[in-house]
Structure 1
């Protein structure tokens, strides 16, 4: 069929008069009810912009492969982040005096998990100079949030017999406060101390890091590595601090903080368990240990070959799940080392 005949056929298919949608045709001027119901050109919607949309932080909440968390909420305007990325500090008169705003802010921040990681380094000395053999970071963020079932996270308020900063410069077991987060926020905001701070901690209990450290050290031994090894399990984004102290880097507030006590409220934890119970609970009549996403042993089965390759390749940087997947998909053989390496000289 020619293009001309196609246009003619399309015109016949969508003629409103033939379709019976405009029955009241005016024989004098040829107008129809359809003509009066159509919008003017100025009322027509603007053509769709062909420019591809930019990726907003909110869109990351629906990105396949990422946990269903609004990652943009981690960013707090005007807040400072510690060098090790563990502590976010915000100086805000509004949050320090408005109990409702503080409660809402802490509730939002408590709904965000911390970022557990594995960091291992290997170094050796060459004629007195330190040489880095590998420096590897692995993120375990995704293992706190299941893809189907709800996570096990909850907010914990300090109990009556627990030592904590309860509005003083030292840890005490008093006062005991009923009313939960709202009441503690009220007390903080009504505290007239010129130097005070409210601390929200994010914790990852029941994560068997001793097991993982042992597995990593056994792997290094099998790779015949002789250097000095450091294995750490840092948890970044693990503390949010609301304070009256300015964070502009000026010297005067720092000097004043040395001569006057800071009233500290560290009574709230956002708890994100790796498993429902710890490994010490594997006794008779105790709940069966169930991990939120994957057990440490299963995680090791997936990651060990990729980690071995990264160590031998002397990687400096992140080891990702995609790196592990690529190794499996390409059918690369297991890493085998015949000679010792990493010896100091």
Structure 2
């Protein structure tokens, strides 16, 4: 009888995971050696205490300044969304609360293979470790200028716990501070570009984060549930929870609750001065505008239903919109203002940042970059690898002096 034929499949090599193939996996990113670790306070503190400012110095918190000093925050001083110089204040910054969103060091991978922390979001190489989905949550709309995220979700005006949870989540991500550099001669725009500074607020080592939630201080002028700024009412302990409860229980048909994200202790004047000197070195004779706009700076919850115009017209005869602008998410660039003793920067100082980016900025000016385009890490890479921006002493701007004045 003929023997049965047997099909023998060739043996397969044993499966080896990526971790087994890598004999020496890279270690975690390290911060500059000149930044010692920051001590963390007890996790029970959510709002740093603040001394009550005098009536002479109290100003409205409602404008939600975006780039300020911590001493300005604590004194109740304000500015617009663009940087203003803040006068010195003798009050000391409060103790920092724990970071808005503690992330543990251990990591794993999600279903898409993206590395994630045990209690945190995916980690993207080259980007700050943040939960970017929080910038566009369901039932929210981002304004066209990307400054304000707003919602009329009914559950946020019906449940204090839901509102508290929203505020804490939105406080765990920073605003996006920018530099906008523009030069023009009359109607001719010679250059117009931006730079993103958000990465300077979030260190790679999450234990070094110093962001915290701050509620309006006693005696500080702010929108506290009325149509005008006031120093009353005041709340006791559990400030965030109490303000959210007051908003939910407010019977006003038109009301809003806002969280403002602000940047503290960044020396914008130093950066602006360096940029202006650099542009002047190119023999540019036009007008230079340098601003520090901040996007993703506000989160607002509004009344669930928008009343009709007729109803609003009648209602405004007797009452008006109730505003609650009493909570801020503070993101320090550094632990103190530039020049103060013991100052520690989250990522790097203004001087180090300038040395890294000055050639890229000069190259963007020389190339007459337009339309608000960003200067990015690719520009920095070209400056380092190819020397772009180095040695530029003057630029042919064309035109005559009359053209430069727009005559």
TM (norm. structure 1) is 0.76
Q: Which residue of 2 aligns with 1:330?
A: 386
**CA displacement, residues 62-92 of structure 1 (integer Å, 9 cap, x when unaligned):** 1111111010111022323223211111112
Instruction: Identify unmatched segments of 5+ residues in structure 1.
Output: 1-6, 14-51
Larger Rg: 1
2:299 corresponds, among 222, 237, 240, to 240
Mapped contact 2:121–2:131 kept (Cα < 8 A):
yes
Q: Which residue of 1 aligns with 2:257?
A: 198
| Structure 2 Cα separation of the partners of residues 237 and 153 of structure 1 | 16
1:67 matched to 2:128? The reply is yes
The total of aligned residue pairs comes to 291
Q: Which residue of 2 aligns with 1:290?
A: 344
Distance 1:253-1:202 versus aligned 2 partners, 3 A rule: farther
**CA displacement, residues 264-301 of structure 1 (integer Å, 9 cap, x when unaligned):** 1111110000010113x62xxxx411111011111000
| Structure 1 Cα separation of the partners of residues 243 and 148 of structure 2 | 21
1:181 matched to 2:240? The reply is yes
Instruction: Identify unmatched segments of 5+ residues in structure 2.
Output: 1-7, 15-110
Q: Which residue of 2 aligns with 1:26?
A: none
1:151 matched to 2:152? The reply is no
Distance 1:245-1:220 versus aligned 2 partners, 3 A rule: farther
1:276 corresponds, among 329, 335, 347, to 335
Aligned residues: CA RMSD: 3.1
Structure-to-structure mapping, 1:77-92, within 5 angstroms: 77-92=138-153
Distance 1:199-1:8 versus aligned 2 partners, 3 A rule: closer
Distance 1:9-1:137 versus aligned 2 partners, 3 A rule: closer
Mapped contact 1:227–1:341 kept (Cα < 8 A):
no
Comparing 184-193 and 325-334, the one that deviates more = 325-334
1:215 matched to 2:269? The reply is no
Shift of 1:339: 5.3
Q: Which residue of 2 aligns with 1:41?
A: none
| Structure 2 Cα separation of the partners of residues 66 and 163 of structure 1 | 37
Comparing 314-323 and 78-87, the one that deviates more = 78-87
Distance 1:147-1:253 versus aligned 2 partners, 3 A rule: farther
TM (norm. structure 2) is 0.65
Q: Which residue of 2 aligns with 1:261?
A: 320
2:154 corresponds, among 93, 101, 106, to 93
